Amino acid sequence: MQIKTKEDRRRRIQLRQRKRIAGTAARPRLTVFRSVSHIYAQVIDDLSGRTLISASTVEPTVKATFAVDVSGGNLKGAEAIGRVIAERSIEKGIKRVVFDRGGFLYHGRVRAVADAARKAGLEF
């Protein structure tokens, strides 16, 4: 795979990480995707190939809880998604996950999601 764009680079890093990271039923994978204006998080069981829980800044139920200065494209929005995904996971009985940053740097909004999920009770 030749790297020509930033997306190619991210994809290559993502594939390299996925060789080592896999979600099981006991410890599913918490993956994060960020776009310019939104952030998405999913808890995935790779053995069965199912998404167990998801949350994003696009969802109307999540958007309704945002304050005026919160959006999917800033740190406060990322923290809100981290809290929501942790709450939904704990409701389903999932307390331990493997964090997958999806080829993005562990910095900014990706880190904010991880820190908020840890504060809300997820272990990784």
Q: What is the pLDDT of residues 31-89, one digit of tens each?
A: 999 999 999 999 999 999 999 999 999 999 998 888 888 888 899 999 999 999 999 99
42 falls within a domain: yes
1 falls within a domain: no
Diameter of the chain measured on Cα atoms: 43
73: tokens are: 């494209």
37 falls within a domain: yes
124 falls within a domain: no
Give residue 103's domain range. Answer: 6-119
Q: Check: CB of residue 121 under 8 Å from CB of residue 96.
A: no
Global pTM value = 0.90
- pLDDT tens-digit readout, 92-101: 999 999 999 9
Q: How many domains does the chain have?
A: 1
User: What's the chain's average pLDDT?
Assistant: 94
* CATH number of the domain that residue 101 is part of: 3.30.420.100
34 falls within a domain: yes
